[in-house]
Structure 1
Amino acid sequence: MAQQNEEGTALLSSQKSTRDSRGSMISASFNFINSIIGSGIIGLPYALNQAGLPFGLLLLVAVGFITDYSIILLIRGGILSGTNSYQSLVQSTFGLPGFLVLSALQFLYPFIAMISYNITFGDTLTKVFQRIPGVGPNHLLAERHFVIILITVVFTLPLSLYRNIEKLGKVSLLSMVLTVTILIIVIIRAATLGPQIPPTEDAWVFAKWNAIQAVGVMSFAFICHHNSFLIYGSLERPTLANWTQVTHISVGSALIISAVFAVAGYATFTGYTQGDIFENYCRDDNLATFGRFCFGLSIITTFPLECFVTREVISNVICSRNLSKLEHVGLTVLIVAVCTSISLGYDCLGVVLELNGALSATPLIFIIPSACFLKLSSGRWFQGENLIPTMLIIMGLFVMITGLTMTGLYRQDCLHGVEMFYCTDANVSSTVQPV
């Protein structure tokens, strides 16, 4: 009888452990999806415009698979080296020079991202404010520089002054809900507005010559490696098998959502698609205005998280200690002020996304995880399981160098604040009224 009780207790304990493990994996998958599906999704229709719809979709799937593979590779490198963070993995593998290179990239990525968020505030919220009665095109709330400064002073700077990132993490569910809402709006407008806009001449070609620049935008949208070790450690059973399952589910789900958003956005505007898809919608489109509001609110909640990372990188490299309250405030104000100053002088989101993707996201996804694994593993670079990491390094260097060169030499047109020609058409105007 006692043996039966012991077996029953063991069975219940095993079942509870299995439920806890599944629960932690579901929670980790949700956090991971939220980490991937962020503000970068807004530029994916523009990436298809750069690459061509069929080839762009192939590139998007390829970037998704590479992201999936490199995230798993990153954790494998951590297990081999006995480290539990991206920084400690690179430092243990390549020493101080590697740590400094990674720190520079981890600073640049969120720093440029904050600049892109400010540009988006100027693009989207000015149009939201113009829907307020009495606010016309010449009103102060319709002036992008004033709106960027207003949002900075009232929202992003105060939120960025938090020292505890857990307080900022509470908005992750809100950010996910807003992203899904934006996706639904883009799909609705693809069905109602898209047929009213004549496609451009090369709208459905297989590929376009500046597809490499599109890879940078896609890399920017998919990068989530800075959160990988944190989410891996949150698992009830942090094994490589469980992590692989979480990664496949998360990246796969994010890829499906991203592909639907990109296709719906591009199919609506074809060759007219801009870096900020909401720049393409008409000012009197109330549904799109609601989407602009949702996206603006989403990146207001995301901006402080990027500032937190930027501040931590600077304090770890320069100070190597916890900042005092005065130093914390001073450094935060300096970071936000520099970002705001740069964003006031530039208003083309597409180029910023390309630059950040090629300069920082590509090495963080393609090159560094592969290089760490090759350094830690045995065998030749072009043999066995080392072959794919070697190819990713070569591919990453090509995308990085070519993408930066093309972004500098062949800058795309930016029509910020210009009402698109189709918005004056009577048929289109009737289409964009409230649904």
Structure 2
Amino acid sequence: MEAPWGSINVERGWYVSAQEPEEAEAEESSPLLSNERHGQGSRGVSFGFSVFNLMNAIMGSGILGLAFVMANTGILGFSCLLLMVALLASYSVHLLLSMCVHTAVTSYEDLGLFVFGLPGKVVVAGTIIIQNIGAMSSYLLIIKTELPAAISEFLPGDYTGSWYLDGQTLLLIICTAIVFPLALLPKIGFLGYTSSLSFLFMVFFALVVIIKKWSIPCPLTLNYREEYFQISNATDDCKPKLFHFSKESAYAIPTMAFSFLCHTSVLPIYCELQSPSKKRMQNVTNMAVALSFLIYFVAALFGYLTFYDKVESELLRGYSKYLPHDVAVMAVKLCILSAVLLTVPLIHFPARKALMMILFSNFPFSWIRHSLVTLALNIIIVLLAIYVPDIRNVFGVVGASTSTCLIFVFPGLFYLKLSREDFFSWKKLGACALLIVGILIGTFSLALIIFNWTNK
């Protein structure tokens, strides 16, 4: 439902003007898009399902890395940072919706086109491509590392060395047999039906993390390959830290930004919303962000309180080591892997759309071009999943660069460019703060991550 090239019917020299209170109130309840289609026989998607859809766009592999972040920031430090990122993410959606009321565009890329012309569209589309490739590769990295462990737990003996316990082999088979065929579909209509299921998987994951906190003793003892190691006898290892900062803390905000990114899905979800308006869509966003924050925080807190400083950068690895044949852990692994597997083809679509908008915006649909672009994206994410050693590297680099741009920098910059409001108005000050925070967070975090790499 996105506006094709050249269909933006607002004058390019037009800017968002300062509004009177009556106009602002009307804006809150008016349809977001001028060319509204919901009156043409379609009732749209309910408020609840829209919340589930947006939560499905928010929640993903990030939930597995947040316990590691808490271990390197402390409980209070983590809580403050996560709340700040959640609030800023919700506020940046508010700015995007405000701009789209006036520009009548239906995609993030076309908003870039409206503000800065073709270069703006190319930059936004390129950022979306990189971010989605990072997200897909992080999902495949989870499959590569966790699927062999999940299979081995169902086998009675030792089958080490078998091809079906090799992560790379399984990854290639899955991407060839499942991900690529699903990603080839020109449209996917089951997103709304799977979103609520994915939400239940995430809730189930959080509940298992809570329950299993009392199944793993502290200090940790590892029974692995018939060798017993006492990890630590220090009682300090079993005391949670309220504030803690180390070189690994550089991954904190990028991982959180990666975990709350949903901005490329806001407008498509709006286009299917029942009785659409800016206020209603903002309520959908606030509800989705709040529920995601709650599940993220609970899973991170109890994951940290289970492993403390020994928490893995990918939380499921710890349970694979200490509870290798636990029924609940095995079940939650299958749920998470299923959710991840079904999400990868879905993320192909915005990445491929953005790539098509850059390279082939004026070309008619071609199955050959469609298949080759899908195949190229598939190859790239498989290679990244194979050769990237740690999921925190994906969270860190992608979160510090593209995620901060899409959540903080672009909404703030676009609003400052479009708005004619007084600079000291609340919205414009908020947009300026969002832009500055995004630039500082992205630059500082990326510099620290690169510094950590060079000093290993």
Structure 1 length normalisation: TM-score? 0.85
Aligned length: 396
Kept in 2: contact 1:128–1:292 (CA 8 A): yes
> Are the aligned partners of 1:36 and 1:224 in contact in 2 as well (CA < 8 Å)?
yes
| Change in 2 beyond 3 A, CA 1:199/1:133 | farther
Which residue does the alignment assign to 2:345? Answer: 304
Could you tell me which of 189, 209, 216 is aligned with 1:166? 189
**Alignment deviations for residues 221-278 of structure 1 (CA, whole Å, 9 cap, x no partner):** 1110011112222233322222232222221111111111111111111111222100
Structure 2: stretches of 5+ with no match in the other structure: 1-38, 221-234
Gaps of 5+ in 1: 1-16, 415-435
SS at 2:202's partner residue? helix
Indicate the SS of the match to 1:193: coil
Q: Is 1:225 aligned to residue 263 of structure 2? A: yes
Describe the shift of the 1:411–1:340 C-alpha distance in structure 2 as closer, same or farther (beyond 3 A): same
Structure 1, residues 80-138: CA drift from partner, whole Å, max 9, x if none? 32322212112111111111110111000111111111211111111011112345333
Q: Residue 24 of structure 1 contacts residue 236 of structure 1 at CA under 8 Å; is this kept in 2?
A: yes
Is the aligned partner of 1:262 residue 2:300? yes
- Give matches, 1:361-380, under 5 Å: 361-380=403-422
Shift of 1:78: 0.6
Once the 2 structures are TM-superposed, how far is the Cα of residue 169 of structure 1 from its aligned partner? Answer: 4.8
CA distance in 1 between counterparts of 2:433 and 2:213 reads 38
Cα-Cα RMSD = 2.5
2: distance between equivalents of 1:413 and 1:294? 38
How is 1:114-153 mapped onto 2 (pairs within 5 angstroms)? 114-131=136-153, 132-134=155-157, 136-153=159-176
Are the equivalent residues in 2 in contact too, given 1:186–1:261 (CA < 8 A)?
Answer: yes
Name the structure 2 match of 1:61: 83
Which residue among 370, 376, 380 is the counterpart of 1:328?
370
Give the SS at the match of 1:216. helix
Native 8 Å contact 1:135 1:142 kept in 2 = no
**How far apart are residue 411 of structure 1 and its match?**
4.3
Distance 1:328 1:319 in 2: 10
- Which residue in the other structure is 1:426 paired with? none
Deviation digits for residues 124-173 of structure 1, max 9, x if unmatched?
11101111234533322222221221221222122222111224554223
Greater helix content? 1
| SS of 1:287 mapped into structure 2 | helix
Q: Is 2:52–2:195's contact at 8 Å kept on the other side of the alignment?
A: no
- CA distance in 2 between partners of 1:179 and 1:203 (Å): 24
Map Cα deviations across residues 353-397 of structure 1 (whole Å, 9 max, x no partner). 111111111110011111111111124545432111111111101
Pair 1:315 & 2:356 matched: yes
1:388-407 correspondence to structure 2 within 5 Å: 388-407=430-449
Question: Residues 29 and 205 of structure 1: is their aligned pair in 2 closer, same or farther, counting only changes over 3 Å?
Answer: closer
Matched, 1:37 2:59: yes
Supply the distance in 2 between the matched residues of 1:275 and 1:183 (Cα, whole angstroms). 17
The answer (yes or no) to whether the contact 2:109–2:354 under 8 Å persists in 1 is: no
Partner residue, 1:156: 179
Q: 1:235 to 1:331 in 2, by over 3 A?
A: closer
> What does residue 49 of structure 2 align with?
27
Maintained 8 Å contact 1:49/1:266: yes
Q: In the alignment, what sits opposite 2:254?
A: 216
The one-letter code matched in structure 2 to 1:284 is H
> What's 1:206 paired with?
243
1:90 counterpart residue number: 112
Change (3 A) 1:122 1:23: closer
* Contact 1:51 1:212 (C-alpha < 8 Å) held by counterparts: no
Larger displacement relative to structure 2 (272-281 or 205-214): 205-214
Q: Give the aligned residue type for 1:368.
A: F
Instruction: Return closer, same or farther for 1:411/1:47 CA change in 2, 3 Å cut-off.
Output: farther
Q: Determine the C-alpha separation between the residues in 2 that align with 1:87 and 1:287.
A: 43
Pair 343,199 (structure 1): closer, same or farther in 2 beyond 3 Å: farther
Instruction: Say if 2:290 is the partner of 1:252.
Output: yes
Q: Deviations over 1:295-344 (max 9, x none)?
A: 11111000001112221111111011344112222221121112112221
Alpha-carbon distance in structure 1 between the residues aligned to 2:358 and 2:421 = 34
What's the counterpart of residue 328 of structure 2?
A: 287
| Superposition deviation, residue 406 in structure 1 | 1.4
Relative distance call for 1:342 and 1:244 in structure 2 (3 A) is closer
Secondary structure at the counterpart of residue 371 of structure 1: helix
**Is contact 2:49-2:192 (8 Å) kept?**
no
Aligned partners of 1:115 and 1:340 also within 8 Å: yes
- Relative to the length of structure 2, the TM-score reads 0.81
- Structure 2 distance, partners of 1:346, 1:244, is 37
Q: CA deviation at 1:196?
A: 5.6
> 1:413: how far off?
12
What is the distance in 2 between the residues matched to 1:292 and 1:124? 8
Q: Distance in 2 between matches of 1:372 and 1:342?
A: 32
1:257–1:413: structure 2 CA closer, same or farther, 3 Å change rule?
Answer: farther
Residue identity opposite 1:406 in structure 2: L
Supply the distance in 2 between the matched residues of 1:355 and 1:134 (Cα, whole angstroms). 40
Q: 1:323, 1:115 → 2: CA distance?
A: 27
Secondary structure class of the residue paired with 2:388? coil
Matched, 1:337 2:360: no
Q: Is it true that 1:113 corresponds to 2:135 in the alignment?
A: yes
